Structure 1
Amino acid sequence: MFKFLNKIRGFREDERGSSTAEFVIVATTFLTGFFWVFETGLIMTKQMMLERALDITVRELRLYASPLYTHDYIKEEICDKALVFNDCSDMLFLEMDEFDPSVGYAKNYKCYDKENEIAPVTTWSPGSRNEIVYIRACIIIDPLMPNGIALFPGTSETGVPLVADTAFVNEPD
């Protein structure tokens, strides 16, 4: 019994390795915070690039109204301008609908469901002349840190949804 107590006492008095334990606690906390900040910046960059690509594409659509602007063409243009997405053409969903200012636009966004591999049914109505048109793009991205998605509202186990939307008026003839 005394041998055991002497070993415990010796272990308690030995200070070798104490700085290693402190380093592990501090470094883990610091690196976790660093990666959360890095991932947040990356997600914000992707959100900004999606909004920018949608705005540039809609500007071209407004200025050069043409029957060539189909759903697939606009999707391709957005994916070409937003350079930061993997598999953009398969994961990006567009929705276009007429907009009534007196009613507003409160529809929920729809994104690709990766877990069940379900593609949502979206409306695509380019509207007529002098009509306000609302367009929304949605894509789900994979986070770097799976536990970090709890910081973002509206996230699911399958990823972080990024939604960009804008409205424009179809110019008169």
Structure 2
Amino acid sequence: MTRNIPFAPRSASPLTRFARTEAGSATVEFVIVFPIIILMLLMGFEASYYMLRTVMLDRATDLAARHVRLADGAVEDLASLKQEICAATLIIPDCTELLQVELRTIPVVSGGTGVLDDRPRCVDVFDTGSAANDVFLTGAGNQLMALRVCAISDPLFPTSVLASRLAVDAAGNYAVITRSSWVNEPEDSTGGAPEGDVDSIYEDEPPP
């Protein structure tokens, strides 16, 4: 009498078992997706910080431009203009050293438009003489003026994609640029009341 002996399959090799197992599949997805999410977060932080610096510099430039436009004595020279801008821009470190200012008149042709004819000037951190590129021309009455400010700033995350695209020098710094334009107040445009009693104006014809 014969007895059937069950066939025992040969055990799979360790390499085959490793290829068939599904353990750790979630870890593979995490390793692939996690760097992408981190890069997006870093770009979001960098873009937000860049926008914050731009908004604050833009506001400070408008405030300084108002003093220049009104000629109220708050801005008398290039140094005071930089101090006025940096006083309202608290988020840019070493502001006065890294700020490039262009205040100039814009010639306007009748029937045409006035434009700035060159690229913004920014401080070169590797060239100590680059500050000589500042321009400070207050102009005369009724002249079209333009104030252009460039501040060099270091990025939060220099290795991020956004920071590398915005870089303007070998140190990885990027430029924050803002502009403002206006027309100077006319000279002697208002003839105020003569000194003395205001009622003397109406000696011949009293006010209604």
- Please list every run of 5 or more consecutive structure 2 residues that lacks an aligned counterpart in the other structure: 1-11, 189-208
The verdict on how the C-alpha distance between 1:85 and 1:68 changes in structure 2, with shifts beyond 3 A counting, is closer
Q: Which runs of 4+ in 1 moved over 3 A?
A: 115-118, 154-157
Q: Which has the larger radius of gyration?
A: 2
* TM alignment of 1:18-167, pairs within 5 A: 18-66=25-73, 69-102=76-109, 104-120=115-131, 121-146=133-158, 147-148=160-161, 149-152=163-166, 155-157=168-170, 158-167=172-181
> 1:18 offset after TM fit, Å?
2.5
Alpha-carbon RMSD: 2.3
CA distance in structure 1 between the aligned counterparts of 2:89 and 2:175, rounded to whole angstroms: 15
How many residues were matched structurally? 168
- Please list every run of 5 or more consecutive structure 1 residues that lacks an aligned counterpart in the other structure: none
Same amino acid, percent of matched pairs: 27
